[in-house]
Amino acid sequence: MNVDLSAAYANCRDLHRRHGRTYYLATRLLPQWKRRHVHALYGFTRYADEIVDRTDQLPPADRAAALDQWGQRFLDGLHGAPVDDPLLPAVLHTIAVFDLDKADFTAFLRSMAMDLTVTSYPRYTDLLDYMEGSAAVIGTMMLPILGSTDRAAAREPARQLGFAFQLTNFIRDVAEDLDRGRTYLPDEDLARFGVTRADLVDAARHRRATPPIVELIRYEVGRARGHYAAAAPGVTLLEPASQACIRTAYALYGGILDEIAAQGYDVFRRRATVPNRRRATVALRSLLTPAGTPVTLPGPVDLTAPPTPTQPTPTQPPATPTPAPTAPTPTAATPTAP
Q: What is the 3-state secondary structure (H, E, C) of 110-147?
A: HHHHHCCCEEECCCHHHHHHHHHHHHHHHHHHHHHHHC
The three-point CA angle 33-35-39 to 5° equals: 135
Domain that holds residue 199: 119-305
Q: What is the pLDDT of residues 20-51, one digit of tens each?
A: 889 999 999 999 999 999 999 999 999 999 99
Whether 76 and 155 map to the same domain: the answer is no
> Which one, of 22, 2, 31, 20, lies nearest residue 242 by Cα?
31
Distance CA 309, CA 195 (A): 8
Whether 142 and 112 map to the same domain: the answer is no
Give the max Cα distance, the chain: 64
Whether 129 and 45 map to the same domain: the answer is no
What is the structure's pLDDT at 87? 96
The contacts of residue 189 (CB under 8 Å, 6+ apart) are 124, 216, 219, 220
Residues of the chain with pLDDT under 70: 1-3, 55-56, 300-338
The total number of structural domains in the chain stands at 2
Residue 4 placed within a domain: yes
Whether 191 and 246 map to the same domain: the answer is yes
Whether 210 and 92 map to the same domain: the answer is no
Distance CA 223, CA 160 (A): 12
Q: What is the pLDDT of residues 305-327, one digit of tens each?
A: 444 333 333 333 444 555 554 43
For strands 322-323 and 118-120, give the pairing: antiparallel
Q: Find the CATH number of the domain harbouring 27.
A: 1.10.600.10
Residue 330 placed within a domain: no
Distance CA 155, CA 141 (A): 10
Q: What is the pTM of this model?
A: 0.88
The three-point CA angle 223-227-233 to 5° equals: 150
